Chain A
Amino acid sequence: MKTNIGRLVLVAGLTTGLLATAGAAMARDLTVTGWGGTAQAAQDKAMFQPYVKETGNKLVQDSWNGGIGVLRTKAQGDSTWDVVQVEADELALGCEEGIYAKLDWSKLGNKDEYLPGMAGECGVGTFVWSTALAYDKAKLGENGPKSWADFFDTKKFPGKRSLRRGPRQSLEFALLADGVAPGDIYKQLATKEGVDRAFKKLDTIKKDIVWWEAGAQPVQLLQSGEVVMTSVYNGRIFAANNADKTNFAIAWPAGFVYQVDSWAILANSPNKDEAMGFLKFIQTPARQQDVANVLAYGPTLKDSTGQIAPNVLPYLPTAPGVIEHGMSFNTAFWVDNIEALNERFNAWAAQ
Chain B
Amino acid sequence: MVADETRNLRASLRRAERRRTLRGLGLTLPLILFTLVFFIVPIAGMLVKSVQNGPMPDILPQTSALLQPWRASAERGVPDEAVFAAFAGELRTASQERTLPELATRLNFENAGYRSLLMATARRLPEAPTGTWRETLTGINPQWGEVAIWAALGRASTRVTDNYLLAALDHRRDDNDRIQATDPSRAVYVASLLRTLEISGIVTLLCLLLAYPLAYRLATLPESTANLLMILVLLPFWTSLLVRTASWLVILQREGPLNDALRWLGLISQPLELVFNRPGVIIAMTHVLLPFMVLPIYSVMKGIPPNYMRAATSLGAPFFTAFRRVYFPLSLPGVTAGCLLVFILAIGYYITPLLIGGANDQMVSSLISFLALQTLNWGLAAALGTVLLVITVALYFVYSRVVGTDGVKLG
Contacts and interface: CB of A to CB of B under 8 A. Distances in A.
Contacts of B188: 343, 346-347, 350
Q: Is the interface of A mostly helix, strand, loop or mixed?
A: helix
A225 B260 CA distance: 13
A98 interface: yes
Interface in A312-351: 332, 335-350
B229 interface: no
A210 B280 CA distance: 13
Interface centre among B112, B119, B354, B367 (most CB of A within 10 A): B112
A242 B302 CA distance: 56
B186 A347 contact: yes
A55 interface: no
A69 interface: yes
Given A332-B116, A344-B185, A347-B184, A338 B255 contact: no
A93 interface: yes
B39 interface: no
A271 to B, nearest CB: 22
A225 B254 contact: yes
Contacts of B115: 335-336
B121 interface: no
Given A97-B98, A344-B186, A336 B108 contact: yes
A76 B360 CA distance: 41
Given A210-B276, A340-B186, A349 B359 contact: yes
A225 B377 CA distance: 38
Contacts of B275: 226
A211 interface: yes
Contact of A350 (B360, B371, B374, B375): B360
A165 B119 contact: no
A34 B33 CA distance: 38
Nearest to A98: B98
A193 interface: no
A224 B374 contact: no
A238 B190 CA distance: 42
B355 A213 contact: yes
Interface in B173-216: 184-188, 191-192, 195
Given A96-B119, A211-B276, A350-B191, A226 B255 contact: yes
A350 B255 CA distance: 27
B26 interface: no
Interface in B322-381: 354-355, 358-360, 362, 367, 370-371, 374-377
Which 9 A/B pairs are nearest by Cβ-Cβ distance?
Answer: A349-B359, A340-B112, A346-B188, A343-B186, A339-B375, A337-B112, A349-B360, A225-B255, A211-B359
Interface of A: 69, 72, 75-76, 93, 96-98, 160, 165, 209-211, 213-214, 217, 224-226, 332, 335-350
11 contacts: A93-B101, A97-B101, A209-B359, A210-B358, A213-B355, A226-B254, A339-B112, A343-B187, A344-B185, A347-B191, A348-B185
Interface of B: 98, 100-101, 108-109, 112-113, 115-116, 119, 184-188, 191-192, 195, 250, 253-256, 275-276, 354-355, 358-360, 362, 367, 370-371, 374-377
Given A347-B191, A350-B195, 17 more contacts: A96-B101, A97-B100, A98-B98, A165-B359, A209-B359, A226-B254, A335-B116, A336-B108, A337-B113, A343-B187, A347-B188, A348-B185, A349-B358, A349-B359, A350-B188, A350-B191, A350-B360
